[in-house]
Amino acid sequence: MLNIEKRQILTNLLEGLTKEQIIWLNGFVTAKSDGEISAPILAKKESNIKEITILYATETGNAKKIASNFSNKLKKLKIKVKLKAIQQYDPENLNKEKYLILITSTHGDGEFPENAKEFISFLDLNGPDLSNINYAIIGLGDSNYPLFCKAAIDLEDKLVSLGAKNWQKIANFDLDFENHIENYYQNLEKSLFEEKKNLTGKITQNIILNDIGSNKEIHHIEIKSDAKYQVGDAVAIKIADNAPRLYSIASSPNQNEGEIHLTVKNVAGGLCSSFLSELKSDDDLEFYIAPNNNFRLPDDKKDIIMVCGGTGIAPFRAFLQERDFSAADGKNWLFFGEQYARSDFLYQAELQDYLESGLLDNLDLAFSRDQEEKIYVQDRIKEKSDELKGWLEKGAYFYICGDKNKMAKDVEQILIEILGEEFLEKLEEEGRYLKDIY
Amino acid sequence: MTEKIKINSNYLRGDLAKDLQNQITGSVNHNNHQLIKFHGIYEQDDRDRRKAREEKKLERDYSFMIRLRIAGGRISNKQWLAASKLSEDYSNSHIKITTRQTIQLHGIIKSKLKPTIQYFDKYNLDSIAACGDVNRNVIASIFGQDIDEINDLAVKISDEFLPKSNAYKEIWLDGEKVENDHEPLYGQTYLPRKFKIAIANPPFNDVDVYAHDIGLVKIADGYNIIVGGGMGTTHGNDQTYPRLGSLIAFSKKEQILEIIKQIILIQRDFGNRENRKQARLKYTIDHRGLDWFKKELTKRLGFKLDNAKDFEFSARSDQFGFLEDGRFGLFIENGRVFGNIKEALDEIAKKEIGNFNFSNNQNILITDIKDKNALIEILVKYNLDNQKSEIRKSAMACVALNTCPLALAEAQRYLPDLLTKIEDLLTKYQLQDENISIRMTGCPNGCARPYLAEIGLVGTSLGRYNLHLGGGSFGQRLNRIYKNSLNEEEILKELDYFFGEFAKCDKELIFGNFANKLIN
């Protein structure tokens, strides 16, 4: 909200004040603003992210120009920036990176620039674990060529497959990139401070959704908070020095004003999940909202197909609530998988109501352990392949949420079987194949 | 409503097969909820868990009770082990012996129904018509002479009047589909209401022969015929009442099946199909008169019925321990087989020491005993000594809470505790050896035949019961409501008074008769 200079002045002013003085100042400012400004000013004084690495792979020097520009600006925010041409970067260091901006042009027939090839082959050959990395990719290209920014798209696939997490939505710029790059930077900078803005909410409910006989302990947690969020977003929770854990929000802010719902599986040995599981009513919880622009509802008229297992249902519960609220015309189809119908059918009563009201058009279930031979969501998708194809041909969006290594892979495999690779690629290009996997 | 469901069911099929595949709910749809009863299955939900499930955003904890059809109550040790295994695998590990000589498993979830019935089928056990508007499990006395003969008759009646629809095979056993099915005896609307047949063997009336639509009393070369007995009532509906069966005739063995058939057909044709609370044979007879009934029956038979013969009952309770004929009666409180009793019965079955015969008072007779010492060893090992008071040994309770959807109050989970307090009262007046029949149900439908008990407790709401007194001790006289909706303290206070007065009387007197006089 404030520009950097103003913020710096404010920071200097506040330094060394006593608590009483700050409280007085707070009241003074509030009076000045007729009560429109309240506490969070203090929270915004510095970026939450302390170190960023920027790598560029360039043919013409454009990528380098952008990288240097970003680097200078970020350094002014007191962020330690490591700026390197990609061929000069030792990829063995990747495991130490937390925030990584990659800027790459596309060369020739959708290939990486020559000087990036060593880096890419390191990823391909060594398959390092990149789960510590939050990435932002900028692609540069020329839309006159058929495979526009293919290198950037491929790079994202590789990073995701190695566990890296999306930080900023991939941005692919055409020859007129200079018109857009400042806007991109502003958003990135904004996010540095937004994420920093730690919020405090109060727990109002924490129940275990599973019943007797279940192998799982999945919590439904309701938090009272004024935080602004959209369906698809996640809540990030940071405990001590550990990397923040993200939990997809299970509610729509429109249907649950002032509330955030989470669906959290208590994983044995999971620091964050066991912390959340033990929360009681009236406990405070510190968190921030992690926007996920890659997982949004489409236009109200579009049909959506949602596929999930276990806690993967969280964002879809939010989607359904949102579509219920907005009385969206688009049809809704949910595939849900778990172990036992009796004890693990998360949000069963709500989904039954949605079926009855007509909000949900289809609900297909796979309870793997209710019969001799195990049945999974991908089996249900296969059973319904004709109908599914019909929906997608008419423009439906396809969403997956859940386990990256098992469910998402198997579902994708079945989709390729049903639709063919070309159709799936087309879906992806059109932004109709969306994943929130972990 | 139920009539319409029957008509539209294509002989009990409905869309049950498809419904079983529906994983969105653990229940079955409204129509199938009714139809599934004809397959011996009741849909229930765990009422203790309703609130918790709601909080968990789950639907009610639906499950099913499967009741077997075991006419005469005899079961081989292999069949017992099959039931025992299923109770462990798919049910709540309990086996419930009913008041009508069969067993039922509770808590079977939808996805396990088919595997359960298929497994039973491997052991020649089925649940066809164990519930529903048809002739249900046929019960027979297990004491006295000629018990093999009356057991055979029970089996024969059960088979003869079984629905002939192929639906059971198609739905549960993957049997081949039959087009244009039909039901030669019942037709597509079956009977207006449930229909029960019992066979007594004087002097033993362990079946409560007056409590069923048809009661047969074995006499010499034939049977006395009793019609129109029935227990079920509805609170606040004085058009409903328990009724003792009426003794109408004697029949030679050879004609008995034909007579039963014609009685069933009269009920099929004249039973009330508008109002299920007036649909039992007892109301058909009372609305048109017993004379009309006898005339209609004679007309249909084409021959005159003989006059009923004299007989006398002098026992209704089960016998325990080793009987003169070598069988062994084992007490099972309220028919609930679990824990050490179940382990013991499993071991007896595994070692093939004997077979089992379920009693009509929710106990077990161990029959065909091959090795008496081995049996004793097991009974000692599991501490099963039948050492219970007389009142406890003849007590009965229905299932009630937490699974029976009709229950207004507790029964089998509560009666044992109440009995402990009643035993103390009896001891106080040195009446501890009196065999007084006490029966408790969680609702007025009468599954444990409470209206034929000397002390009947019929649930009205949680923790409250109507106190019935004055029933005949051999099932020959109904009791009457003495006081309404008593809580435990009030029940004990009343019984304290009655026991106190009874203790002052002639020792030859029977409590039921005494109370009957006292409340007049």
The number of beta carbons lying within 10 Å of the beta carbon of residue B401 is 19
pLDDT, tens digit (0-9, with 9 covering 90-100), for A192-227: 776 556 789 999 999 999 999 999 999 999 999 999
Q: One-letter amino acid identity for B401?
A: L
Instruction: Identify the pLDDT of residue A40.
Output: 32
Instruction: Specify the pLDDT at position A106.
Output: 87
Report which of A211, A281, A283, A295 is spatially closest to residue A249, judged by C-alpha positions. Answer: A295
Annotated active-site residue B443? The verdict is yes
- Say which of B110, B398, B439, B449 is annotated catalytic: B398
Q: Is A167 on the interface with B (CB under 8 A)?
A: no
Which of A150-154, A262-266, B223-227 has the lowest average pLDDT? Answer: A150-154
The number of domains in chain B is 1
pLDDT band at A28 (very low <50, low <70, confident <90, very high): low
Residue B30 in contact with partner chain A when CB distance is under 8 A: no
B288 annotated active-site: no
The answer to whether A51-193 and A304-437 have equal CATH topology is yes
Structural domain includes residue B206: no
In a domain, B287, yes or no: no
Q: Where are the domains of chain A?
A: 51-193, 199-290, 304-437
Q: Chain A: nearest CA to B21, how far in angstroms?
A: 11
SS (H, E, C) B265-293: HHHHHHCCCCCHHHCCHHHHHHHHCHHHH
**Residue position matching structure tokens 């206070």:** B493
Q: What is the pLDDT of residues B281-318, one digit of tens each?
A: 999 999 999 999 999 999 999 999 999 999 999 999 99
Task: Find out whether B163 and B183 touch, Cβ atoms under 8 Å.
Answer: yes
Q: ipTM greater than 0.85, yes or no? A: yes
Separation CA B37–CA B42 (nearest Å): 5
**What CATH number belongs to A51-193?**
3.40.50.360
Q: Which of B6, B74, B110, B196 is catalytic?
A: B196
Tell me whether residue B406 is in a domain.
Answer: yes
- Closest partner residue to A370 among B56, B59, B111, by Cβ? B111
Q: Does residue A349 belong to the interface with chain B, where contact is any CB pair within 8 Å? A: yes
Residues B74, B193, B268, B404: which is the catalytic one? Answer: B404
Is any Cβ of chain A less than 8 angstroms from the Cβ of B24?
Answer: yes
Annotation says B136 is catalytic: yes
| Confidence check: pLDDT of B204 > 70 | yes
Q: What value does the CA radius of gyration of chain A take, rounded to a whole number of Å? A: 23
Structure tokens at A421: 């690779």
**Which amino acid would we find at residue A301?**
K
Q: Which of B67, B268, B393, B464 is catalytic?
A: B67
Sheet containing strand B321-322, strands side by side: B74-75, B355-358, B364-367, B328-330, B321-322
Integer Cα distance of B47 and B51 in angstroms: 8
Lowest mean pLDDT among A54-58, A306-310, B65-69: A54-58
Contact flag B53-A211 (C-beta cutoff 8 Å): yes
Q: Which of B13, B110, B136, B477 is catalytic?
A: B136
Using one digit for the tens of pLDDT, what is the confidence trace for A251-268? 999 999 999 999 999 998
> Between B25, B56, B110, which is nearest A209 by CB?
B56
User: Do residue A208 and residue B109 have CB atoms under 8 angstroms apart?
Assistant: no
Domain residues for the domain of B449 are 391-518
With respect to residue B474, please indicate whether it lies within any of the assigned structural domains: yes
Joined tokens for residue A43: 């929270």
Interchain CB contact of B53 with A (< 8 Å): yes
Domain CATH number, residue B456: 3.30.413.10
pLDDT surpassing 50 at residue A42: no
Q: What residues of chain B lie within 8 A of the CB of A343, using their CB?
A: 58
Residue of chain A nearest B45, judged by CA positions = A342
Whole-number Å distance between alpha carbons of B454 and B480:
10
Please write the tens of the pLDDT for every residue from B351-372. Answer: 999 999 999 999 999 999 999 9
Q: Compute the half-sphere exposure of residue A305: CA atoms within 13 Å on the CB side of its CA.
A: 23
Task: Name A237's bridge partners.
Answer: A245
Whether residues B109 and A211 touch (CB distance < 8 A) is answered with: no
Residue type, B14: G
Q: pLDDT (tens digit, 9 = 90+) per residue, A361-408? A: 999 999 999 999 999 999 999 999 999 999 999 999 999 999 888 899
Write the burial class of residue A158 (CB in 10 Å: 0-12 exposed, 13-18 middle, 19+ buried): middle
Q: Is B196 a catalytic residue?
A: yes
- Cβ distance A262 to A314 under 8 Å? yes
Query: What is the percentage of chain B residues whose pLDDT exceeds 90?
Result: 98
Q: Is residue B421 part of a domain?
A: yes
In this structure, is residue B464 part of a structural domain? Answer: yes
Q: What is the mean pLDDT of residues B338-350?
A: 98
Mean pLDDT of chain A: 89
Contact in structure between A172 and A262 (CB atoms under 8 Å): no
Q: Is B29 on the interface with A (CB under 8 A)?
A: no
CATH of A199-290, one of 2.40.30.10, 3.30.70.870, 3.40.50.12280, 3.40.630.30: 2.40.30.10
Is B26 within a domain?
no
Task: Give DSSP secondary structure letters for B131-192.
Answer: SSSSB---EE--SSTTHHHHHHHHHHHHHHTS---SHHHHHHS-PPP-SS---TTT-TT--S
Which CATH fold topology does A304-437 show?
A: Rossmann fold (3.40.50)
Asked whether residue B473 is domain-assigned, the answer is yes
Query: What does the alpha-carbon distance between residue A76 and residue B27 come to, in Å, rounded to a whole number?
Result: 64
Our CA-based measurement puts residue A295 at a distance from the nearest CA of chain B, in whole angstroms, of: 26
